[in-house]
Structure 1
Protein backbone atom coordinates (compact mmCIF):
# COMPACT_ATOMS: atom_id res chain seq x y z
CA UNK A 1 0.00 0.00 0.00
CA UNK A 2 1.22 3.53 -0.83
CA UNK A 3 0.01 6.73 0.76
CA UNK A 4 -2.76 7.74 -1.65
CA UNK A 5 -4.91 8.04 1.46
CA UNK A 6 -3.75 8.67 5.01
CA UNK A 7 -5.54 7.42 8.11
CA UNK A 8 -4.67 8.77 11.54
CA UNK A 9 -6.48 8.29 14.85
CA UNK A 10 -6.35 10.72 17.75
CA UNK A 11 -8.69 10.95 20.75
CA UNK A 12 -10.92 8.26 19.22
CA UNK A 13 -11.48 10.23 15.97
CA UNK A 14 -10.11 8.89 12.68
CA UNK A 15 -9.05 11.45 10.09
CA UNK A 16 -9.00 10.00 6.59
CA UNK A 17 -7.15 12.27 4.15
CA UNK A 18 -7.29 11.92 0.38
CA UNK A 19 -3.66 12.36 -0.60
CA UNK A 20 -3.11 13.13 -4.29
CA UNK A 21 -2.77 16.92 -4.03
CA UNK A 22 -0.87 17.12 -7.33
CA UNK A 23 -4.14 16.21 -9.11
CA UNK A 24 -6.44 17.90 -6.58
CA UNK A 25 -7.10 14.50 -4.96
CA UNK A 26 -8.73 13.05 -8.06
CA UNK A 27 -9.73 9.43 -7.49
CA UNK A 28 -8.24 6.67 -9.60
CA UNK A 29 -8.50 2.90 -9.21
CA UNK A 30 -5.49 2.64 -6.89
CA UNK A 31 -6.76 5.37 -4.60
CA UNK A 32 -10.22 3.81 -4.54
CA UNK A 33 -8.73 0.53 -3.33
CA UNK A 34 -6.79 2.24 -0.55
CA UNK A 35 -9.86 4.24 0.43
CA UNK A 36 -11.93 1.08 0.84
CA UNK A 37 -9.18 -0.55 2.91
CA UNK A 38 -8.93 2.50 5.18
CA UNK A 39 -12.70 2.65 5.65
CA UNK A 40 -12.73 -1.03 6.55
CA UNK A 41 -10.03 -0.45 9.17
CA UNK A 42 -11.92 2.47 10.68
CA UNK A 43 -15.21 0.56 10.70
CA UNK A 44 -13.71 -2.41 12.53
CA UNK A 45 -11.47 -0.59 14.99
CA UNK A 46 -13.29 -0.26 18.31
CA UNK A 47 -10.93 2.56 19.27
CA UNK A 48 -12.40 4.69 16.46
CA UNK A 49 -15.65 6.39 17.46
CA UNK A 50 -16.11 8.65 14.41
CA UNK A 51 -14.46 9.55 11.12
CA UNK A 52 -13.56 12.85 9.46
CA UNK A 53 -12.89 12.82 5.71
CA UNK A 54 -10.79 15.61 4.18
CA UNK A 55 -8.35 16.34 1.38
CA UNK A 56 -4.66 17.14 1.27
CA UNK A 57 -3.67 20.52 -0.18
CA UNK A 58 -6.06 23.09 -1.62
CA UNK A 59 -8.82 20.76 -2.86
CA UNK A 60 -11.11 18.29 -1.14
CA UNK A 61 -11.53 16.09 -4.21
CA UNK A 62 -11.78 17.03 -7.88
CA UNK A 63 -13.71 13.86 -8.72
CA UNK A 64 -12.75 10.99 -10.96
CA UNK A 65 -9.33 11.05 -12.61
CA UNK A 66 -9.85 12.51 -16.12
CA UNK A 67 -6.79 10.68 -17.46
CA UNK A 68 -8.46 7.44 -16.43
CA UNK A 69 -11.57 8.48 -18.36
CA UNK A 70 -9.49 9.01 -21.50
CA UNK A 71 -7.86 5.61 -21.08
CA UNK A 72 -11.25 3.93 -20.69
CA UNK A 73 -12.49 5.43 -23.94
CA UNK A 74 -9.51 3.94 -25.78
CA UNK A 75 -10.72 0.40 -25.03
CA UNK A 76 -12.27 -1.65 -27.81
CA UNK A 77 -15.91 -0.57 -28.44
CA UNK A 78 -17.18 -3.95 -27.31
CA UNK A 79 -15.45 -3.57 -23.93
CA UNK A 80 -16.27 0.02 -22.96
CA UNK A 81 -19.67 -0.65 -21.40
CA UNK A 82 -18.71 -3.75 -19.42
CA UNK A 83 -15.42 -2.23 -18.23
CA UNK A 84 -17.41 0.81 -17.12
CA UNK A 85 -19.92 -1.35 -15.29
CA UNK A 86 -17.16 -3.10 -13.35
CA UNK A 87 -15.52 0.20 -12.45
CA UNK A 88 -18.86 1.63 -11.34
CA UNK A 89 -19.35 -1.34 -9.04
CA UNK A 90 -16.08 -0.48 -7.30
CA UNK A 91 -17.07 3.17 -7.07
CA UNK A 92 -20.40 2.26 -5.53
CA UNK A 93 -18.74 -0.14 -3.10
CA UNK A 94 -16.45 2.61 -1.83
CA UNK A 95 -19.30 5.13 -1.50
CA UNK A 96 -21.46 2.52 0.24
CA UNK A 97 -18.62 1.78 2.67
CA UNK A 98 -18.40 5.48 3.53
CA UNK A 99 -22.15 6.03 3.76
CA UNK A 100 -22.72 2.82 5.71
CA UNK A 101 -19.86 3.25 8.18
CA UNK A 102 -21.45 2.35 11.54
CA UNK A 103 -20.05 5.50 13.14
CA UNK A 104 -20.66 9.23 12.66
CA UNK A 105 -18.89 10.62 9.60
CA UNK A 106 -18.10 14.25 8.78
CA UNK A 107 -16.76 15.59 5.50
CA UNK A 108 -14.34 18.43 6.27
CA UNK A 109 -14.40 20.08 2.86
CA UNK A 110 -11.23 22.14 2.65
CA UNK A 111 -11.53 23.27 -0.98
CA UNK A 112 -13.27 22.26 -4.18
CA UNK A 113 -15.53 19.22 -3.96
CA UNK A 114 -16.29 18.49 -7.59
CA UNK A 115 -18.19 15.67 -9.28
CA UNK A 116 -17.43 12.44 -7.45
CA UNK A 117 -15.77 14.54 -4.73
CA UNK A 118 -19.09 16.27 -4.09
CA UNK A 119 -20.83 12.89 -4.05
CA UNK A 120 -18.37 11.62 -1.43
CA UNK A 121 -18.97 14.63 0.80
CA UNK A 122 -22.71 14.02 0.49
CA UNK A 123 -22.22 10.37 1.49
CA UNK A 124 -21.06 11.51 4.94
CA UNK A 125 -23.52 12.17 7.75
CA UNK A 126 -22.50 15.81 8.04
CA UNK A 127 -20.55 18.38 6.03
CA UNK A 128 -18.35 21.12 7.47
CA UNK A 129 -17.11 23.48 4.77
CA UNK A 130 -14.12 25.75 5.10
CA UNK A 131 -14.61 29.33 4.01
CA UNK A 132 -12.57 28.37 0.93
CA UNK A 133 -14.75 25.37 0.03
CA UNK A 134 -16.93 25.00 -3.04
CA UNK A 135 -19.24 22.31 -4.37
CA UNK A 136 -20.12 21.39 -7.93
CA UNK A 137 -22.13 18.54 -9.41
CA UNK A 138 -20.05 18.92 -12.53
CA UNK A 139 -20.94 15.64 -14.25
CA UNK A 140 -23.12 17.34 -16.86
CA UNK A 141 -20.04 19.16 -18.15
CA UNK A 142 -18.47 15.80 -19.02
CA UNK A 143 -21.63 14.37 -20.55
CA UNK A 144 -22.16 12.16 -17.51
CA UNK A 145 -24.57 11.61 -14.62
CA UNK A 146 -23.66 11.55 -10.95
CA UNK A 147 -22.19 8.11 -10.28
CA UNK A 148 -21.24 8.34 -6.62
CA UNK A 149 -24.64 8.50 -4.99
CA UNK A 150 -25.37 12.19 -5.57
CA UNK A 151 -28.65 11.41 -7.31
CA UNK A 152 -29.73 9.77 -4.03
CA UNK A 153 -28.03 11.98 -1.42
CA UNK A 154 -28.45 15.48 -2.85
CA UNK A 155 -32.30 15.59 -2.95
CA UNK A 156 -32.37 14.44 0.65
CA UNK A 157 -30.18 17.37 1.64
CA UNK A 158 -31.52 20.25 -0.42
CA UNK A 159 -34.89 19.06 -1.77
CA UNK A 160 -35.73 17.76 -5.23
CA UNK A 161 -36.14 21.04 -7.18
CA UNK A 162 -32.87 22.44 -5.82
CA UNK A 163 -31.07 19.16 -6.52
CA UNK A 164 -32.30 19.22 -10.11
CA UNK A 165 -31.08 22.79 -10.54
CA UNK A 166 -27.60 21.97 -9.21
CA UNK A 167 -27.30 18.78 -11.25
CA UNK A 168 -28.71 20.20 -14.49
CA UNK A 169 -26.54 23.34 -14.35
CA UNK A 170 -23.38 21.86 -12.86
CA UNK A 171 -22.74 25.28 -11.33
CA UNK A 172 -20.39 25.99 -8.45
CA UNK A 173 -21.80 26.62 -4.97
CA UNK A 174 -19.58 28.57 -2.57
CA UNK A 175 -19.43 27.83 1.14
CA UNK A 176 -21.93 30.41 2.40
CA UNK A 177 -24.55 29.47 -0.18
CA UNK A 178 -23.96 25.80 0.64
CA UNK A 179 -24.75 26.59 4.27
CA UNK A 180 -27.85 28.58 3.34
CA UNK A 181 -29.38 25.84 1.17
CA UNK A 182 -28.46 22.97 3.49
CA UNK A 183 -25.72 21.50 1.33
CA UNK A 184 -23.32 22.13 4.21
CA UNK A 185 -24.11 22.01 7.92
CA UNK A 186 -21.41 24.36 9.19
CA UNK A 187 -18.76 26.73 7.83
CA UNK A 188 -15.39 26.94 9.52
CA UNK A 189 -12.26 29.05 9.02
CA UNK A 190 -9.85 27.12 6.81
CA UNK A 191 -7.09 27.04 9.43
CA UNK A 192 -9.42 25.41 11.99
CA UNK A 193 -11.48 23.18 9.68
CA UNK A 194 -10.22 19.72 10.65
CA UNK A 195 -9.86 20.71 14.31
CA UNK A 196 -13.48 21.89 14.48
CA UNK A 197 -14.72 18.88 12.51
CA UNK A 198 -12.93 16.54 14.92
CA UNK A 199 -14.37 18.39 17.92
CA UNK A 200 -17.87 18.01 16.50
CA UNK A 201 -17.20 14.34 15.70
CA UNK A 202 -16.15 13.84 19.32
CA UNK A 203 -19.39 15.40 20.56
CA UNK A 204 -21.46 13.24 18.21
CA UNK A 205 -19.77 10.00 19.22
CA UNK A 206 -19.83 10.13 23.01
CA UNK A 207 -22.88 7.92 23.32
CA UNK A 208 -23.24 4.16 23.11
CA UNK A 209 -21.41 2.86 20.04
CA UNK A 210 -24.07 0.18 19.55
CA UNK A 211 -26.97 2.61 19.85
CA UNK A 212 -25.26 5.03 17.45
CA UNK A 213 -24.62 2.36 14.84
CA UNK A 214 -28.15 0.97 15.03
CA UNK A 215 -29.75 4.42 14.97
CA UNK A 216 -27.71 5.45 11.95
CA UNK A 217 -28.54 2.26 10.05
CA UNK A 218 -32.27 2.84 10.58
CA UNK A 219 -32.24 6.60 9.96
CA UNK A 220 -30.46 6.08 6.63
CA UNK A 221 -33.47 4.04 5.47
CA UNK A 222 -36.18 6.34 6.84
CA UNK A 223 -37.46 7.82 3.59
CA UNK A 224 -37.70 4.49 1.77
CA UNK A 225 -39.12 2.36 4.59
CA UNK A 226 -42.84 1.99 5.46
CA UNK A 227 -43.82 3.04 8.96
CA UNK A 228 -44.49 -0.44 10.36
CA UNK A 229 -41.24 -1.80 8.97
CA UNK A 230 -39.36 1.11 10.52
CA UNK A 231 -41.00 0.40 13.87
CA UNK A 232 -39.98 -3.25 13.54
CA UNK A 233 -36.39 -2.26 12.88
CA UNK A 234 -36.54 -0.05 15.94
CA UNK A 235 -37.83 -2.90 18.08
CA UNK A 236 -35.04 -5.19 16.91
CA UNK A 237 -32.42 -2.52 17.53
CA UNK A 238 -33.76 -1.82 21.02
CA UNK A 239 -33.66 -5.51 21.88
CA UNK A 240 -29.97 -5.54 20.96
CA UNK A 241 -29.34 -2.40 23.03
CA UNK A 242 -30.91 -4.04 26.08
CA UNK A 243 -28.06 -6.56 26.08
CA UNK A 244 -25.15 -4.11 25.82
CA UNK A 245 -22.86 -3.30 28.70
CA UNK A 246 -23.27 0.39 27.91
CA UNK A 247 -27.03 0.25 28.53
CA UNK A 248 -26.71 -1.88 31.64
CA UNK A 249 -23.99 0.36 33.11
CA UNK A 250 -26.04 3.50 32.34
CA UNK A 251 -29.12 2.10 34.10
CA UNK A 252 -27.07 1.03 37.11
CA UNK A 253 -25.40 4.43 37.34
CA UNK A 254 -28.76 6.24 37.13
CA UNK A 255 -30.34 4.06 39.82
CA UNK A 256 -27.32 4.42 42.06
CA UNK A 257 -27.49 8.21 41.74
CA UNK A 258 -31.21 8.42 42.49
CA UNK A 259 -30.90 6.03 45.44
CA UNK A 260 -28.51 8.34 47.25
Structure 2
Protein backbone atom coordinates (compact mmCIF):
# COMPACT_ATOMS: atom_id res chain seq x y z
CA UNK A 1 0.00 0.00 0.00
CA UNK A 2 1.23 3.48 -0.82
CA UNK A 3 2.17 5.72 2.11
CA UNK A 4 -0.45 8.22 3.24
CA UNK A 5 2.13 11.01 3.06
CA UNK A 6 3.74 11.41 -0.34
CA UNK A 7 7.06 13.14 0.29
CA UNK A 8 9.19 15.31 -1.98
CA UNK A 9 12.19 17.48 -1.27
CA UNK A 10 13.36 20.72 -2.87
CA UNK A 11 16.67 21.78 -1.31
CA UNK A 12 15.80 22.69 2.31
CA UNK A 13 12.03 22.24 1.88
CA UNK A 14 10.00 19.07 2.45
CA UNK A 15 6.64 18.81 0.65
CA UNK A 16 4.20 16.32 2.22
CA UNK A 17 1.03 15.50 0.27
CA UNK A 18 -1.78 13.59 1.94
CA UNK A 19 -2.46 10.96 -0.69
CA UNK A 20 -5.85 9.30 -0.21
CA UNK A 21 -7.96 11.34 -2.66
CA UNK A 22 -10.63 8.63 -2.81
CA UNK A 23 -11.41 9.23 0.90
CA UNK A 24 -10.74 12.99 0.70
CA UNK A 25 -7.58 12.37 2.73
CA UNK A 26 -9.54 11.41 5.84
CA UNK A 27 -7.40 10.47 8.84
CA UNK A 28 -8.73 6.95 9.14
CA UNK A 29 -6.03 4.75 10.59
CA UNK A 30 -3.24 4.60 13.17
CA UNK A 31 -0.80 4.06 10.30
CA UNK A 32 -1.62 7.49 8.82
CA UNK A 33 -1.12 9.11 12.21
CA UNK A 34 2.18 7.31 12.68
CA UNK A 35 3.42 8.70 9.37
CA UNK A 36 2.96 12.24 10.69
CA UNK A 37 4.81 11.32 13.89
CA UNK A 38 7.63 9.67 11.95
CA UNK A 39 7.96 12.61 9.56
CA UNK A 40 8.23 15.06 12.46
CA UNK A 41 10.90 12.88 14.06
CA UNK A 42 12.91 12.94 10.83
CA UNK A 43 12.58 16.73 10.62
CA UNK A 44 13.74 17.14 14.20
CA UNK A 45 16.87 15.12 13.47
CA UNK A 46 17.72 16.60 10.06
CA UNK A 47 18.93 20.14 10.64
CA UNK A 48 19.18 20.77 6.91
CA UNK A 49 15.37 20.82 6.63
CA UNK A 50 14.11 24.37 7.10
CA UNK A 51 10.44 24.35 6.01
CA UNK A 52 7.61 21.83 5.68
CA UNK A 53 4.83 22.38 3.12
CA UNK A 54 1.68 20.32 3.78
CA UNK A 55 -1.06 19.80 1.19
CA UNK A 56 -3.52 17.21 -0.07
CA UNK A 57 -4.00 15.36 -3.33
CA UNK A 58 -7.41 15.36 -4.96
CA UNK A 59 -10.44 17.52 -4.19
CA UNK A 60 -9.87 17.95 -0.44
CA UNK A 61 -7.10 19.04 1.88
CA UNK A 62 -8.32 16.72 4.65
CA UNK A 63 -11.87 15.61 5.47
CA UNK A 64 -11.09 14.76 9.10
CA UNK A 65 -12.40 11.46 10.42
CA UNK A 66 -14.14 8.77 8.38
CA UNK A 67 -17.89 9.05 9.06
CA UNK A 68 -18.59 5.48 7.90
CA UNK A 69 -16.12 4.19 10.50
CA UNK A 70 -17.94 6.30 13.11
CA UNK A 71 -21.24 4.72 12.11
CA UNK A 72 -19.80 1.21 12.24
CA UNK A 73 -17.81 1.90 15.43
CA UNK A 74 -14.82 0.44 13.65
CA UNK A 75 -11.15 1.30 13.25
CA UNK A 76 -10.09 4.20 15.45
CA UNK A 77 -13.72 4.61 16.68
CA UNK A 78 -14.03 1.08 18.07
CA UNK A 79 -14.24 0.10 21.72
CA UNK A 80 -15.55 1.09 25.13
CA UNK A 81 -15.43 4.71 26.38
CA UNK A 82 -12.16 3.98 28.17
CA UNK A 83 -10.68 2.42 25.03
CA UNK A 84 -11.90 5.30 22.86
CA UNK A 85 -10.34 7.83 25.22
CA UNK A 86 -7.00 6.09 25.01
CA UNK A 87 -7.29 5.73 21.24
CA UNK A 88 -7.65 9.51 20.95
CA UNK A 89 -4.76 10.12 23.34
CA UNK A 90 -2.49 7.54 21.73
CA UNK A 91 -3.80 8.19 18.21
CA UNK A 92 -4.84 11.41 16.52
CA UNK A 93 -3.79 13.60 19.45
CA UNK A 94 -0.21 12.69 18.65
CA UNK A 95 -0.48 14.81 15.48
CA UNK A 96 -0.88 18.20 17.20
CA UNK A 97 1.79 17.27 19.71
CA UNK A 98 4.30 16.70 16.90
CA UNK A 99 3.17 19.00 14.06
CA UNK A 100 2.31 22.07 16.14
CA UNK A 101 5.51 21.69 18.16
CA UNK A 102 7.85 21.44 15.17
CA UNK A 103 10.69 23.95 15.37
CA UNK A 104 10.63 24.68 11.64
CA UNK A 105 7.91 26.69 9.86
CA UNK A 106 5.00 24.71 8.42
CA UNK A 107 3.11 26.11 5.43
CA UNK A 108 -0.33 24.65 4.65
CA UNK A 109 -1.33 24.70 0.98
CA UNK A 110 -5.07 24.09 1.37
CA UNK A 111 -6.25 22.73 -1.96
CA UNK A 112 -9.85 21.94 -0.99
CA UNK A 113 -12.09 21.23 1.97
CA UNK A 114 -10.48 21.34 5.42
CA UNK A 115 -13.10 19.81 7.68
CA UNK A 116 -13.08 18.81 11.35
CA UNK A 117 -9.70 17.33 12.13
CA UNK A 118 -8.61 18.59 8.70
CA UNK A 119 -9.26 22.19 9.75
CA UNK A 120 -7.47 21.56 13.04
CA UNK A 121 -4.52 20.15 11.11
CA UNK A 122 -4.40 23.35 9.05
CA UNK A 123 -4.46 25.39 12.27
CA UNK A 124 -1.38 23.52 13.49
CA UNK A 125 0.56 25.12 10.64
CA UNK A 126 2.19 28.54 10.84
CA UNK A 127 0.95 29.93 7.53
CA UNK A 128 -2.17 28.86 5.62
CA UNK A 129 -2.61 29.57 1.90
CA UNK A 130 -5.79 28.34 0.24
CA UNK A 131 -7.23 27.78 -3.19
CA UNK A 132 -10.24 29.96 -3.94
CA UNK A 133 -12.42 26.82 -4.02
CA UNK A 134 -11.36 25.70 -0.53
CA UNK A 135 -13.84 25.53 2.34
CA UNK A 136 -13.39 25.30 6.09
CA UNK A 137 -15.57 23.80 8.81
CA UNK A 138 -15.11 22.96 12.49
CA UNK A 139 -17.84 20.43 11.92
CA UNK A 140 -17.62 18.08 14.91
CA UNK A 141 -20.86 19.33 16.45
CA UNK A 142 -22.79 18.37 13.30
CA UNK A 143 -21.97 14.76 14.18
CA UNK A 144 -22.71 15.15 17.89
CA UNK A 145 -19.02 15.30 18.73
CA UNK A 146 -16.50 17.76 20.18
CA UNK A 147 -13.14 18.77 18.68
CA UNK A 148 -11.09 15.79 19.81
CA UNK A 149 -7.69 16.74 18.49
CA UNK A 150 -7.06 20.19 19.90
CA UNK A 151 -9.35 22.35 17.80
CA UNK A 152 -10.83 24.11 20.83
CA UNK A 153 -7.30 25.32 21.66
CA UNK A 154 -5.99 25.87 18.13
CA UNK A 155 -8.84 27.63 16.33
CA UNK A 156 -9.35 30.50 18.85
CA UNK A 157 -5.63 31.29 18.64
CA UNK A 158 -5.91 31.68 14.88
CA UNK A 159 -9.18 33.60 14.44
CA UNK A 160 -10.14 34.69 17.97
CA UNK A 161 -12.68 33.26 20.39
CA UNK A 162 -15.90 34.82 18.99
CA UNK A 163 -15.36 33.51 15.45
CA UNK A 164 -13.99 30.20 16.71
CA UNK A 165 -17.12 29.86 18.86
CA UNK A 166 -19.32 30.57 15.86
CA UNK A 167 -17.59 27.95 13.72
CA UNK A 168 -17.45 25.37 16.52
CA UNK A 169 -21.01 25.80 17.80
CA UNK A 170 -22.70 25.91 14.39
CA UNK A 171 -20.39 23.54 12.53
CA UNK A 172 -21.13 25.57 9.41
CA UNK A 173 -18.59 25.89 6.62
CA UNK A 174 -17.03 29.15 5.45
CA UNK A 175 -15.51 29.79 2.06
CA UNK A 176 -12.03 30.94 1.19
CA UNK A 177 -13.02 34.61 0.94
CA UNK A 178 -14.44 34.65 4.46
CA UNK A 179 -11.48 32.63 5.76
CA UNK A 180 -9.19 35.34 4.37
CA UNK A 181 -11.25 38.14 5.94
CA UNK A 182 -11.19 36.33 9.29
CA UNK A 183 -7.43 35.73 9.23
CA UNK A 184 -7.77 31.95 9.02
CA UNK A 185 -5.67 32.05 5.85
CA UNK A 186 -3.13 34.59 4.62
CA UNK A 187 -3.86 34.28 0.90
CA UNK A 188 -6.62 32.97 -1.37
CA UNK A 189 -5.39 32.16 -4.86
CA UNK A 190 -6.62 30.34 -7.97
CA UNK A 191 -6.20 26.57 -7.62
CA UNK A 192 -3.58 26.43 -10.35
CA UNK A 193 -1.43 28.95 -8.47
CA UNK A 194 -1.69 27.34 -5.03
CA UNK A 195 1.47 25.26 -4.87
CA UNK A 196 3.67 27.87 -6.50
CA UNK A 197 2.39 30.50 -4.06
CA UNK A 198 3.00 28.19 -1.09
CA UNK A 199 6.44 27.22 -2.38
CA UNK A 200 7.34 30.88 -2.91
CA UNK A 201 6.58 31.54 0.76
CA UNK A 202 8.51 28.42 1.79
CA UNK A 203 11.52 29.41 -0.32
CA UNK A 204 11.52 32.88 1.22
CA UNK A 205 11.62 31.29 4.67
CA UNK A 206 14.22 28.70 3.70
CA UNK A 207 16.54 31.43 2.38
CA UNK A 208 17.18 32.44 6.01
CA UNK A 209 19.59 30.77 8.46
CA UNK A 210 18.11 27.56 9.84
CA UNK A 211 19.01 28.25 13.46
CA UNK A 212 17.29 31.64 13.34
CA UNK A 213 14.16 30.09 11.81
CA UNK A 214 13.96 27.45 14.52
CA UNK A 215 14.64 29.84 17.40
CA UNK A 216 12.15 32.41 16.10
CA UNK A 217 9.45 29.76 15.63
CA UNK A 218 10.02 28.54 19.19
CA UNK A 219 9.74 32.08 20.58
CA UNK A 220 6.45 32.57 18.74
CA UNK A 221 5.09 29.30 20.11
CA UNK A 222 6.21 29.94 23.70
CA UNK A 223 4.95 33.52 23.55
CA UNK A 224 1.38 32.22 23.23
CA UNK A 225 1.30 31.17 26.87
CA UNK A 226 4.18 33.05 28.51
CA UNK A 227 4.44 36.37 30.37
CA UNK A 228 6.26 39.15 28.55
CA UNK A 229 9.03 39.20 31.17
CA UNK A 230 9.58 35.45 30.76
CA UNK A 231 9.60 35.73 26.98
CA UNK A 232 12.15 38.53 27.16
CA UNK A 233 14.43 36.32 29.26
CA UNK A 234 14.07 33.52 26.72
CA UNK A 235 14.65 35.95 23.84
CA UNK A 236 17.86 37.20 25.44
CA UNK A 237 19.18 33.65 25.77
CA UNK A 238 18.23 32.75 22.20
CA UNK A 239 19.75 35.97 20.89
CA UNK A 240 23.02 35.20 22.67
CA UNK A 241 23.07 31.84 20.90
CA UNK A 242 22.26 33.42 17.54
CA UNK A 243 25.01 36.06 17.84
CA UNK A 244 27.68 33.36 18.07
CA UNK A 245 26.71 31.43 14.93
CA UNK A 246 28.69 31.55 11.69
CA UNK A 247 25.51 32.23 9.73
CA UNK A 248 24.88 35.41 11.74
CA UNK A 249 28.36 36.63 10.89
CA UNK A 250 27.84 35.76 7.23
CA UNK A 251 24.47 37.56 7.19
CA UNK A 252 26.02 40.72 8.65
CA UNK A 253 28.97 40.66 6.25
CA UNK A 254 26.73 40.01 3.25
CA UNK A 255 24.47 42.91 4.26
CA UNK A 256 27.39 45.31 4.61
CA UNK A 257 29.01 44.06 1.39
CA UNK A 258 25.69 44.20 -0.48
CA UNK A 259 25.85 40.61 -1.70
CA UNK A 260 23.76 37.47 -1.32
CA UNK A 261 24.68 35.49 1.83
CA UNK A 262 25.95 31.92 1.71
CA UNK A 263 24.66 30.10 4.78
CA UNK A 264 26.12 26.81 6.00
CA UNK A 265 23.80 26.00 8.89
CA UNK A 266 26.52 26.67 11.44
Fold match (TM-score > 0.5): yes
Who is 1:108 aligned against? Answer: 109
Once the two structures are TM-superposed, the CA of residue 62 in structure 1 deviates from its matched residue by: 0.3
Once the two structures are TM-superposed, the CA of residue 113 in structure 1 deviates from its matched residue by: 0.4
Matched, 1:49 2:50: yes
Any idea what the Cα deviations from partners look like across 1:38-72, whole Å, max 9, x if unmatched?
Answer: 23223433332211100111110000223443215
Any idea what the Cα deviations from partners look like across 1:57-109, whole Å, max 9, x if unmatched?
Answer: 1110000223443215553xxx3323422433332222221112211111111
Name the CA distance, whole Å, in 1 between partners of 2:161 and 2:254.
Answer: 46
Who is 2:12 aligned against? Answer: 12
- CA 1:256–1:24 in structure 2 vs 1: closer, same or farther (change >3 Å)? closer
Name the CA distance, whole Å, in 2 between partners of 1:66 and 1:88.
Answer: 19
Q: Secondary structure at the match of 1:199?
A: helix
Q: How many residues align?
A: 254
Who is 1:155 aligned against? Answer: 156
Who is 1:243 aligned against? Answer: 244
Name the CA distance, whole Å, in 2 between partners of 1:196 and 1:255.
Answer: 30
Contact kept? 2:78, 2:84, Cα under 8 Å: no
- CA 1:73–1:42 in structure 2 vs 1: closer, same or farther (change >3 Å)? closer
Unaligned runs of 5+ in 1: none
Name the CA distance, whole Å, in 1 between partners of 2:65 and 2:78.
Answer: 17
* Further displaced range: 139-148 or 54-63: 139-148
* Further displaced range: 54-63 or 196-205: 196-205
Once the two structures are TM-superposed, the CA of residue 242 in structure 1 deviates from its matched residue by: 2.1
TM value normalised by structure 1: 0.91
Once the two structures are TM-superposed, the CA of residue 5 in structure 1 deviates from its matched residue by: 1.0
**Which aligned runs of 4 or more in structure 1 are off by greater than 3 angstroms?**
251-257
Any idea what the Cα deviations from partners look like across 1:106-139, whole Å, max 9, x if unmatched?
Answer: 1111000000000000100010010110000000
Contact kept? 1:157, 1:182, Cα under 8 Å: yes
Q: Residues 141-220 of structure 1 correspond to what in structure 2 (within 5 A)?
A: 141-220=142-221
Once the two structures are TM-superposed, the CA of residue 174 in structure 1 deviates from its matched residue by: 0.5
TM value normalised by structure 2: 0.89
**C-alpha RMSD over aligned residues:** 1.9
Q: Secondary structure at the match of 2:188?
A: strand
Matched, 1:232 2:233: yes
Any idea what the Cα deviations from partners look like across 1:142-170, whole Å, max 9, x if unmatched?
Answer: 21111222211211221111110110000
Contact kept? 2:51, 2:106, Cα under 8 Å: yes
Name the CA distance, whole Å, in 2 between partners of 1:193 and 1:152.
Answer: 27
Contact kept? 1:103, 1:205, Cα under 8 Å: no
Q: Residues 54-133 of structure 1 correspond to what in structure 2 (within 5 A)?
A: 54-69=55-70, 70-71=73-74, 74-75=78-79, 79-133=80-134
